[in-house]
């Protein structure tokens, strides 16, 4: 049994320590907002925040997480359901199409804005370089992150 702090809640995961964090989240904790894409850490679909840093959940072993808090897309909206400012900016900028890449992009954008509150477009593109999107062409995604930076700073 391995204990994880996910989205502010303790989860007891009955899985071997070499299980990927992605499998632990999706199969054991039933948090399916973290998407399974490439399983080799190059598409960004499975991005979560571990201690505030974006990581590919498919490349992190469950036993290596330790006490670090994990945030998934399910953990960023307010308790009343209000969208996080980054989520709202993605909606407002039309930065979502099929939505498959959106959870990972939103989490990477939250991490970027936490360390760089007013990033230049090049900084946004660099922070999202490991995220593949087939639908939007990235222009709207960069615009969404800029919009979020201009709105209330994401602090949740």
Domains, the chain, with CATH or none: 2-75 (3.10.20.30), 85-150 (1.10.150.120)
- 13 φ, ψ (degrees, to nearest 5): -110, 120
Of all residues in the chain, the percent with pLDDT exceeding 70 is 97
Under DSSP, is residue 75 helix (H, G, I), strand (E, B) or coil?
Answer: helix
Note the pLDDT of residue 156: 45
Note the pLDDT of residue 106: 97
Tens place of pLDDT for every residue, the chain, 156 residues? 899 999 999 999 999 999 999 999 999 999 999 999 999 999 999 999 999 999 999 999 999 999 999 999 999 999 999 999 999 999 999 999 888 999 999 999 999 999 999 999 999 999 999 898 888 778 999 999 999 999 855 454
CA 33 – CA 21 distance, rounded (Å): 13
DSSP state of 28: I
**Inter-residue contact 86 to 109 (CB < 8 Å):** yes
**Inter-residue contact 12 to 3 (CB < 8 Å):** yes
Q: Is the dihedral of CA 125, 150, 53, 41 positive or negative?
A: negative
Stated pTM of the model:
0.92
- 2 φ, ψ (degrees, to nearest 5): -120, 130
Label the pairing between strands 2-6 and 47-50: unpaired
């Amino acid at each position: 049994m391995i204990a994880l702090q996910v989205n502010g809640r303790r989860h007891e995961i009955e899985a071997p320590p070499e299980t990927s964090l992605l499998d632990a989240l999706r199969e054991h904790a039933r948090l399916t907002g973290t998407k399974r894409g490439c399983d080799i850490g190059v598409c960004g679909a499975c991005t979560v925040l571990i201690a505030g840093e974006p990581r590919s959940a498919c490349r992190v072993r469950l036993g290596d997480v330790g006490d670090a808090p994990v945030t998934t897309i399910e953990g960023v909206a307010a308790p009343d359901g209000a969208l996080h400012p980054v989520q709202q900016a993605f909606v407002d900028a039309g930065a979502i199409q099929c939505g498959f890449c959106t959870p990972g992009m939103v989490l990477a954008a939250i991490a970027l804005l936490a360390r760089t509150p007013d990033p230049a477009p090049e900084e946004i593109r660099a922070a999202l370089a490991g995220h593949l999107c087939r639908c939007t062409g990235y222009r709207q995604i960069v615009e969404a992150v800029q919009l979020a930076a201009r709105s209330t700073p994401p602090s949740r």
